[in-house]
Structure 1
Amino acid sequence: MKTLINNYVNTFKGLSKEVWWLALITLINRAGTMVIPFLSLYLTKSLGFTVSNVAWIMSAFGLGSVVGSWLGGKLTDQIGYYKVMCYSLISTGILFIALQFLSTFVAFCIGIFLVMLVADTFRPAMFVALSAYSKPENKTRSVTLIRLAINLGFSAGPAVGGLIITSLGYGGLFWVDGITCIAATLVLINVLNPKTTKTLDEVKVKNPKSAYADKAFLMFLVAMLFFGIVFLQYFSTMPIYYKDVHFLTELEIGFLLGMNGFLIFVFEMPLIKWLENTRFNKTSLMLFGAILTGLSFLILNLSGWVGVLVIGMLLMTFGEMIAFPFSNAFAMDRAKKGNQGEYMALYSIAFSIAHIFGHNMGLQLTAKVGFDNTWLFITALAAVCVFLLVGLKLYLKAKKKQKSSFIAIEDEEILWI
């Protein structure tokens, strides 16, 4: 047991203190985001909106995320990641508290759009900060540590959220979310001020390549868009499926979603450390993660047994554990070719667009064709993601081979001279 614990602890060694502080800030912030998993339930149960209304509200959620991610990338390249993170966190806290006072469909669409616009300016800035505070060889594990913080907060958030709903109602969630965002701002100001932090990998490109001209990166983004659409069903369509088909309570749903975060907290870092030392590259690992996530939906139609929900959650969790850290690391590697804010903004935007279409599409499909057919369609989208990642792998392999041939020809010419 002692050896096992030591091996687990060793997977965290070598990461900078700034990365640890960034993880703590993320943990504080994420612990309060208990509103999001229960948002579809809040809108239908407390405000009396139809499933169709909820679908459009979730599209406004995604649209705000797209605009916020794009704006965050622009601002990060112009004023720096520190200022963007500070302004985003404190403004998001205030807006989340105000969101609970909106009760009409149009008002909530506008409100959730503004909340996500401000909240998601944080994401590109955070990724650039993470890259700056990490040594090149530690970037994947640094990303994994941030994800651990996110999922530790997320594992506690839904469980606590279920208790708050039971005792105080949905309104308490908005207050907790807003206060934690403000608390995260105070920590950020005190521990990550640029005057006192150490940059370990400062990237300056004299003639930056536009992310829009990077064919491999664009192919990767489309794959991540499809992956995002599939993955996000667990945070809008799936809670309704749990409640309406398997008759789970809010508390049971909270604990089931919380299991995802707990498993990631326990297993992800050792898993990533082990996978980094295998012969598989980032693209192959993303491919495997996408396959597992797709299977998590396919098995839901195989049985009405409630235990299949746990199996599906396990498949999705391990798929997520593999796909997300290596996709983050892939994006940060490509970002060294140009403006980092632009690259990381586009990476965030891929998932923001998934928010626009994923929630709406999933909810509309369940209303029209039922859950079983919806899961088959989502599995097909996962297959498209897998196909795109296979194409990306072959494209990168061909480019690498072409580059090697070019170098060999140059060397031969030098020998003749």
Structure 2
Amino acid sequence: MRGVRTVRGWFRETTGGLPATFWYLWTGTLINRLGSFVVIFLAIYLTQERGFSELQAGLVLGLWGAGGAVGTTAGGVLTDRWGRKPTLITAHVGAAGMMLALGFARPLWAVAAGALLLGLFAEAARPAFGAMMIDVVPERDRLRAFSLNYWAVNLGFASAAVLAGFAAEVDYLLLFVVDAATTLATALVIFVKVRETRQHGVARAGGAGVPRGALRTILTDRVYLGFVALNLLSALVFLQHISMLPIAMGEDGLSTSTYGSVIALNGVLIVFGQLFVPRLIRGRSRSHVLALASVVMGVGFGLTAFAGVAWFYALTVLIWTLGEMLSSPSNSTLIAELSPAEMRGRYQGVFSLSWQLAGATAPILGGLVRQEAGNVALWLGCAAIGGVMAAAHLLSGPARERRAVALRQPVVEPATVLVPPVPQAAEAAATAPAEPTPAR
């Protein structure tokens, strides 16, 4: 009984007290990820089912990333100006339509155009989703909220990876149809259950609302851009698991269902372990956690150079997944704390842009390195990037934390405070301040 009470207490500590809007967003994430079939098997679909070369497949995946780069930038602007909810719904409905179009596309140019537009719509949702999460979850609860959402992402991913492997052996078109259906279901949940969370007229230094030249402000924020650059390096390594890893496993004679089962271990480990990560890293230096995560991820991908059988590939996936589990919550809370309230959509968009740039270049660079220098060079290069990232996190961490502390301080402009009319009888008392004005 004591063990049961302990589990119940842990469960309440992990999930209790979060707002209803968070849980609707969480449910939408789970539904969407349960059907995220296409991105997992697109490289295999293009090379084995459609007969495209590795270079052509890399080009299509790169266009997906290029479309995502445009989408996440536009999505960030729309999130701040138009609103979180309309941006999310439009992005999901557009992505569902383009998912079906890509499934029925046959010529290379049509497949390339479909991938470009799908990337645009699918990734336009990211800034709105991230901003809405920050809007509704108090700062004290964000670490566990982001961990719970990441848990849902990977529960869906683990299930989708296994199911997609078997669905692909029946008919590849089924992957696109199911993915489109779950994307529409997510849009429906948001439409029915989620209210707009954007705050109008957020007070800030110099005025209210979204400032003019907001994007220029971000582009001169060297602390934040340094963090984004490190995420770009991480994403270049991480995304090899959906571009070059399936090709490497295929050359070793392993089937699509084997790849699906191996890569599903990523989601399975996160599902069983991610909810314990917040307690493990709480109170620890985020720069140290991110440095350790970079080393672990680099080691995992580096060992892929020596893999040739399913169990060895599975081992490498388990290792780099541990690094992913450590980095994700710290990344999410840092983005939230480094984003001014009135520009959350844009800051989320710029961070997501690093993923899209990686999505556009990772398959091309991976294919080029693999073609020119070989499979071993590709994976050992990933290990080297992990070491560079670890050192950079240790060096840049203190500046990030100072910026986060500075942004937590509320800024109130006297010019924006409206004083109600004072009755004449009390005018003399009202004009004598009860407390001295604090120095600024």
TM-score, scaled to structure 2:
0.85
User: Contact 1:158–1:254 at 8 Å: present in 2 too?
Assistant: yes
Q: Give yes or no for contact 1:51–1:367 (8 Å, CA) kept in 2.
A: no
- 1:285-364 aligned at under 5 Å gives the runs 285-302=289-306, 304=308, 306-336=310-340, 339-364=343-368
- The CA distance in 1 between the partners of 2:203 and 2:75, in whole Å, is 19
Counterpart of 2:45? Answer: 42
Q: Are 2:235 and 1:228 aligned?
A: yes
Shift of 1:222: 0.6
Shifted more, 120-129 versus 86-95: the winner is 86-95
Amino acid aligned to 1:126: F
Residues 244/281 of structure 1: CA separation in 2 closer, same or farther (3 Å cut): same
One-letter amino acid of the structure 1 residue matched with residue 278 of structure 2: I
Give the 5 Å matches for 1:3-402: 3=5, 5-10=7-12, 11-167=14-170, 169-194=171-196, 204-207=203-206, 210-245=217-252, 247-276=253-282, 278=283, 280-302=284-306, 304=308, 306-336=310-340, 339-396=343-400
| Identical-residue share of aligned pairs (%) | 24
Return 13-22 or 37-46, whichever deviates more.
13-22
Instruction: Give ranges in structure 1 of 5+ residues lacking alignment.
Output: 403-417
Which amino acid is the alignment partner of residue 243 of structure 2? S
Corresponding residue of 1:415: none
The 3 A distance-change label for structure 1 pair 29 and 304 is closer
Does the 8 Å CA contact 2:307/2:313 hold for their aligned counterparts? no
Contact 2:269 2:321 in 1 (8 A): yes
C-alpha separation between the residues in 1 aligned to 2:352 and 2:193? 25
Deviation at 1:396, TM superposition (A): 4.3
| C-alpha displacement of 1:139 | 1.1
Which secondary structure does the structure 2 equivalent of 1:236 belong to? helix
Taking the aligned partners of 2:54 and 2:32, their CA distance within structure 1 comes to 29
Bigger shift: residues 217-226 or 251-260: 251-260
Equivalent residue, structure 2, for 1:409: none
In the alignment, residue 335 of structure 1 is paired with which amino acid? S
**Which letter does structure 1 place at the counterpart of 2:102?**
L
Instruction: Name the SS for the 1:262 alignment partner.
Output: helix
Cα displacement string for residues 325-350 of structure 1 (whole angstroms, at most 9, x for unaligned residues): 21111011010265111111011001
The one-letter amino acid of 1:241's match is: A
Q: Secondary structure at the match of 2:23?
A: helix
In the superposition, the TM-score normalised over structure 1's length comes to: 0.89
Using the alignment, how far apart are the partners of 1:302 and 1:242 within structure 2? 12
Superposed CA RMSD: 2.4
Give 1:312's aligned amino acid.
T
Query: Counterpart of 1:339 in 2: which secondary structure?
Result: helix
Q: What secondary structure, in the 3-state scheme, does the structure 1 residue paired with 2:15 have?
A: coil
42 and 3 in structure 1: CA distance in 2 versus 1, 3 angstrom threshold: same
Question: Over residues 301-336 of structure 1, what are the superposed CA-to-partner deviations in whole Å (9 max), with x where a residue is unaligned?
Answer: 356554322221111111111112211110110102
8 Å CA contact 1:8–1:270 kept in 2: the answer is no
Shift of residue 398 of structure 1? 8.0
User: The residue matched to 1:120 in structure 2 has which SS?
Assistant: helix
Q: Which runs of 5+ in 2 are unaligned?
A: 407-440
Give the counterpart letter for 2:262 in structure 1.
Answer: L
For each residue in 1:202-235, what CA deviation from the matched residue of structure 2 results, as whole angstroms up to 9, or x when unmatched? 9643446722222111110110000000111111
**Alpha-carbon spacing, 1:100–1:306, altered in 2? closer, same or farther (3 Å):** closer
